Amino acid sequence: MNQNEPKVRVDIKYGNVEEAFEGTVEQAWLELSKFFNVFIPQFELANNLRLSVDTATLARDCEGIIAFSPEGPNVLVPKNKLTDNEALALWLVAAYLGNKLNLLETDGFSKEELQIRLGKSSKITSTRLGELVKMGWATKTGEETFKITTFGVAQMQKDALPRIIAKTGV
């Protein structure tokens, strides 16, 4: 590059990605072209494969199933209409959703809290929580609480919520 040759600087922002190219016109053009031809398709492909939760959609999906009162979250579906795993997953979704909507300070429950909500023994609650963790639907945090994973929310929206609605008529 000749020192007298003018430099071009290109700053580009696409989503959360920012790039800057500097050099001769030809160099900047090649880098910019590479960005559009290589990076953006890969970024969009990766973005399409990224699992994420749309809080507004989740809230709509949970209408009539989960509600929040001044006392905290509530599962509105009768316990006898749910499997233990469905009930636990709903409580974990309630904690997640309540936290995302700034209605709850935390996004999880302790095993003891879940046992009370489930109305089953400590052994049954532990076993069912272990099953949810093995399925990847829940995780145990360092604070000894359980919370739903992004995968768990996605599975609830895709499979469990429609099944719960179908069998309860909510």
3-state secondary structure 52-118: CCCHHHHHHHCCCCEEEECCEEEECCCHHHCCHHHHHHHHHHHHHHHHHCCCCCCCCEEHHHHHHHH
CA distance linking residue 152 with residue 108, whole number of Å:
13
pLDDT band at 120 (very low <50, low <70, confident <90, very high): very high
- Structure confidence at residue 134 (pLDDT): 96
- Structure confidence at residue 106 (pLDDT): 92
Helices 122-135 and 84-100, packing angle to 10 deg: 70
- Reading the block at residue 51, the tokens are 């699992």
Q: Is the pLDDT of residue 142 over 60?
A: yes
Q: Is the pLDDT of residue 2 over 60?
A: no
pLDDT band at 13 (very low <50, low <70, confident <90, very high): confident
Q: What is the DSSP string of 105-124?
A: S-S-EEHHHHHHHHTS-HHH
pLDDT band at 6 (very low <50, low <70, confident <90, very high): confident
CA distance linking residue 160 with residue 87, whole number of Å:
10
- Structure confidence at residue 44 (pLDDT): 73
- Structure confidence at residue 3 (pLDDT): 64
CA distance linking residue 48 with residue 77, whole number of Å:
33
- Reading the block at residue 15, the tokens are 């989503």
